Structure 1
């Protein structure tokens, strides 16, 4: 597996995913080692000269007015980690913790945080050797950095807290010992350098953004299958229509549908069977396209944030140690709220297409896509489940970034709630993916009925999708109803594991 080399400048979305999910090894670029060392020399000089610098020789937050003696600067940093590890809830997933460790290292190697090289290397060793700190998912307000969750990340570095190693939860010290990583003692500025920043909300949001990109492509595949099942009208996807309203997402979605259905004999033209299709079929370029534009906007923001230094103060030079607000999550809180909205709409429109497939009043298929409706309920409750998921998404899509609660004796009087925004987006994407999986499964069932009614051929891309689904799931035609959950789980796995997307992209290009 190819190594990911960190220089603080060009870490990509795909590299984060490779490290987080595929455990790609990580190295620090040689030229950045000297940058880290030079930055540390400045911090050591500040301490020796007892200059007043926030978080180095002062307390934190509203306690910045409290001077810290140079002999206590090290203890100050350990105290910071112990008290700030105040998170709550289920732990973040292993892949999310690996992503946040990677992004934090990438920030630190920029050489503006004043941390010791050996401290960065300890975090790097943990990442490469599989020590995964137990990080509760709740407790960050996304403004003074993700202070609580990042403190939990640091605890095992000190032989404290808890961590997973080879899937087992144990004490931080035990995990470090088993992995062969030495624990450390923090020196001046280091605790603050490790926990002050947007790393957790960015890590969750990066993985969610990557999954949203795949979701948008899968939604096009699902929509194309539904369109063919209904003998939809291809005219609404002609390029000449979309070049006169040339939003990028419109153009891409229309092209994807044309590509997926190329060669299909099920597709029709205006007035051949009907004059117009319903919005959920005809307006896919406009609806899916809007979500694509949203997701691409967020991806651009993510590309900036994973290569940013987000702690405080920032050490530019010996004469420029700047206290600012790079830790504030607002630049990502709003995009991640937007990401949730875009993903929710993909689920919303997919659920409406599920209803159109299973409702005999809206199609020429038997009720609930079974041969003996009444005796069998078929796909009836799959639509209920989809309705529940998209309704939940509508609650989750309420923006977190418009909220703020003052903290730290009113010193930190406007916060982003960006970590909540990222977590919500993650859940919305999971829900919408299940809805899209349901649509694909229902559309393939409907296509089998269509083939009984009319001889025909699917498009090049939709045929690949159909073939894969039918290689894993049978047509539902039993005298007894099957356990639908098991079939839905198999269908969802084809999406989660990229089997369906890979099968289709082997034969056609799907753009984003």
Structure 2
């Protein structure tokens, strides 16, 4: 059971909820804070105080006073009017992460949500109901209004959802799970949609996949080094300690560990004096990507444990402060950075693919073909990798440098953080396909060299590759092989613990 209090959720716990179906509940002490902040909102309505989003309209309508009798109608109108996202639905795992992160933010006790609305949100998560949320339409300030509105529609018995594999009207999905919709009270609609949980959820999922991919890249690169009879001197500690980036040293040590016991690697001068950069500079490039991941993780941990509403309710003082914590700039920057880092993982991988298939750069059969000339072998897999890498260069253009004013210029600077997160996720997905291509080519080349000459760790890696993709004995379509291996790399154990050690 994962217990939420708004301040201690870890990324590992997110993974437990999403991938291991761990149940969620709100801590007792959090309920106390939630009820106290709700009491502040009820008092404001009773006294007729002018407070943004409680007794006023939204955005440019912030100076329009709303009567107490219309407070509930204001909230449902907000949800309906703001639920105008478009595009393909977000993946179910991403949506469930949105539910989890929104529940955690509300559990912090600064939002003025009612206990009944938050309980339903948690119940929906635990019942594995997935609201249908289109992927496009958020500016990343005032938070993720459009996507979170589609999430909130389910809680009031509207919109659509996936339940037990079936697409249903929201009310029917709740009914089948034994749940009932809520009637939103004053401020509750705003409490549900004014936050950064769409961009952050996409970002968390992209980060978890990216962290895994960066680790796999070390293992696959090690197999390529053996296939190309790479020089191991460059991974020795001395040359990295004089440029003491911890991540660079970590990757160099990891590669050496993976290659321990190999009969295929070489030393300086045995075959050649130097390897190309895509082999020689693996610690410097992969290590720099680890630095990116460290930065991104730090920002995500802060964001998933933050109150990102507007306004915020402070029950100790009775203050309700209308601020800007919904602005997604920190996540926008982090997602752009993640996209750039993962684009480079794919980029250097594609260069290693080229060295594996190009007969002018190695002593292997041309394009690793079983019958060069009559059969093209792995020739076009490099084309596919190059295409994906080129696409990543476009996707890596920072979304965070853009801003388009909204709400009649009241909201005149926005983060585009959700676009940045979606782009980063797409880059990571492309990266898995590029690394799958490298793995396929490296496996083919290693078997030509002699699988029995591999290090124990890379021999296990070869066996994992072969469990998804058979050797190329004659030309065939490789599309299914690449997609299947990329999926396997995302979901299977894949020696991650062995690579890390």
Classify the TM-score, shorter chain: over 0.9
Q: Is the contact between residue 103 and residue 121 of structure 2 (CA under 8 Å) also seen in structure 1?
A: yes
- SS at structure 2 position matched to 1:107: helix
Match runs of 1:253-402 below 5 Å = 253-317=251-315, 318-402=317-401
Deviation at 1:490, TM superposition (A): 3.0
- Give the 3-state SS of the residue equivalent to 1:192 in structure 2: helix
User: What secondary structure does 2:500 align onto?
Assistant: coil
Give the distance between the partners of 1:387 and 1:202, measured in 2 at CA.
30
Question: Residues of 2 paired with 1:17 and 1:189: CA distance?
Answer: 31
Does the CA contact (< 8 Å) of 1:250 and 1:288 recur in 2?
yes
Q: Out of 265-274 and 113-122, give the one that drifted further.
A: 265-274
Q: How does 1:206-245 map to 2 (within 5 A)?
A: 206-245=204-243
The more displaced of 140-149 and 9-18 is: 9-18
3-state SS of 1:401 partner? helix
Shift of 1:350: 0.3
| Contact 2:355-2:362 at 8 Å conserved across structures | yes
Partner of 1:170: 168
> Is this contact kept in 1: 2:365–2:372, CA < 8 A?
yes
Q: Is the 8 A contact 2:206 2:425 kept in 1?
A: yes
Paired residue secondary structure (1:360): coil
Q: Pick from 147, 150, 158 the counterpart of residue 149 of structure 1.
A: 147
* CA distance, structure 2, for counterparts of residue 28 and residue 35 of structure 1: 11
Whether 1:95 and 2:85 are equivalent positions in the alignment is no
CA RMSD after TM alignment: 1.2
Q: Deviations over 1:410-441 (max 9, x none)?
A: 11110000000000000000001110011011
Runs of 4+ with deviation above 3 angstroms: none
Structure 1 residue corresponding to 2:250, chosen from 244, 249, 252: 252
Judge conservation of contact 2:212–2:490 (CA < 8 Å) in 1: no
Q: Are residue 498 (structure 1) and residue 492 (structure 2) matched?
A: yes
Deviates more, 1:404-413 or 1:21-30: 21-30
Determine helix, strand or coil for the equivalent of 2:6.
coil
Distance in 2 of aligned mates of 1:125 and 1:419: 26
Distance 1:472 1:61, change over 3 A: closer
Distance in 2 of aligned mates of 1:509 and 1:499:
11
Residue by residue over 1:442-490, the C-alpha shift from the partner in whole angstroms, topping out at 9 and shown as x without a partner, is: 10100111129xxx63223212101222344332123xx1221222233
C-alpha distance in 2 between matches for 1:472 and 1:136: 33
Post-superposition CA distance 1:15-52 (Å, at most 9, x none)? 11222233221111111111111110111001111111
Deviates further, 456-465 or 148-157: 456-465
Q: 1:424 & 1:470 partners in 2: Cα distance?
A: 31
Partner residue of 1:469?
465
Task: Find the aligned partners of 1:83 and 1:259 in 2 and give their Cα distance.
Answer: 57
Equivalents in 2 of 1:69, 1:492: separation in Å? 56
* Partner secondary structure for residue 113 of structure 1: coil
Partner residue of 1:118 out of 112, 116, 119: 116
Structure 1 residue 393: Cα displacement: 0.3
Unaligned runs of 5+ residues in structure 1 are: none
Cα offsets for 1:114-172 (capped at 9, x unmatched): 11011000111111112111100000000101000000001111111111111211111
**Structure 2 Cα separation of the partners of residues 445 and 204 of structure 1:** 35
Shift in Å, 1:493: 2.7
Contact 2:33 2:108 in 1 (8 A): yes
Name the count of aligned residue pairs: 500
Alpha-carbon distance between aligned partners in 1 of 2:445 and 2:265, rounded to the nearest angstrom: 14
State the shift of 1:509 in Å. 4.3
Do 2:219 and 2:499's aligned partners in 1 also have CA atoms closer than 8 Å? no
- The structure 2 residue matched to 1:486, chosen from 463, 480, 493, is 480
Q: What secondary structure sits across from 1:375 in the alignment? A: coil
Aligned to 1:460: 456
- Please point out which of 194, 197, 200 is paired with 2:198: 200
TM-score (norm: length of structure 2): 0.98
Is 1:421 paired with 2:420? yes
Q: What is the distance in 1 between the residues matched to 2:207 and 2:320?
A: 34
3-state SS of 1:271 partner: coil
Aligned to 1:39: 37
Contact conserved, 2:215 with 2:499, CA < 8 A, in 1? no
Residue pair 1:130, 1:179 contacting (<8 A) in 2 also: no
The unaligned stretches of length 5 or more in structure 2 are none
CA spacing shift, 1:261–1:41, aligned 2, 3 Å:
same
SS at match of 1:15: helix
TM-score, normalising length from structure 1?
A: 0.96
**2:86–2:136 CA contact under 8 A, matched in 1:** yes
1:355-397 per-residue CA deviation (whole Å, 9 max, x = no partner) reads 1100000000111102311111110111111111000000000
Q: CA deviation at 1:353?
A: 0.5
